[in-house]
């Protein structure tokens, strides 16, 4: 999947959020603190610093969902973060994103907080972020 396709998938998966351009993805792909797992059906992206990691996003093409692929990419990211010494993993997710919240809870992430009006939506509205943590 090219950076262009990643940007296109991003806008299809998260139509209410600001899009990330292909150029932005190109920059992230080169960053030393980024971990990507990229497949034809989607991609997962994490970042790390010292012993902490953050799952930034998992995007699965709508026609490939509900078949364990989100779980697969999440597990690959967690394995990589663990192998480089990360002990705690964090993530933020939109408070109305039921599918992602269920995926993270099923993989033993615990809710540790909520950030009010964290996301600015394309519609002009705001959305809270739930903060989850997993200790490896």
Ligand X SMILES: CC(C)(COP(=O)(O)OP(=O)(O)OC[C@H]1O[C@@H](n2cnc3c(N)ncnc32)[C@H](O)[C@@H]1OP(=O)(O)O)[C@@H](O)C(=O)NCCC(=O)NCCS
Q: Which residues of this protein are in contact with ligand X, per CB under 6 A?
A: 13-14, 57-60, 65-71, 93, 97-100, 102-103, 106
Nearer to ligand X, 6 or 57 (CB): 57
Helix, strand, coil percentages in the chain from 3-state DSSP, rounded to 5: 35, 40, 25
Assess whether 92 carries a catalytic annotation. yes
Nearest-angstrom CA–CA distance, 66 and 117: 29
Nearer to ligand X, 3 or 92 (CB): 92
Assess whether 4 carries a catalytic annotation. no
Nearest-angstrom CA–CA distance, 58 and 132: 15
State in angstroms the smallest separation of the CB of 24 from ligand X.
15
Active-site residues: which are they?
92, 104
């Amino acid at each position: 999947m090219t950076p262009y396709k990643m940007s296109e998938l991003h806008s299809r998966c998260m139509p209410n959020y600001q899009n990330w351009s292909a150029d932005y993805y190109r920059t992230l792909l080169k960053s030393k603190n980024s971990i990507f797992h990229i497949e034809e059906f989607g991609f997962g992206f994490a970042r790390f610093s010292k012993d902490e990691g953050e799952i930034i996003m998992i995007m699965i093409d709508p026609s490939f969902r509900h078949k364990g692929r989100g779980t697969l990419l999440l597990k690959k990211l967690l394995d990589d973060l663990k192998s480089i010494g990360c002990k705690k993993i964090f993530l933020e997710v939109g408070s109305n994103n039921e599918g992602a919240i269920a995926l993270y809870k099923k993989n033993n992430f615990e809710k540790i907080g909520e950030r009010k009006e964290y996301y600015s939506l394309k519609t002009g509205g705001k959305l809270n972020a739930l903060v989850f943590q997993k200790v490896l």
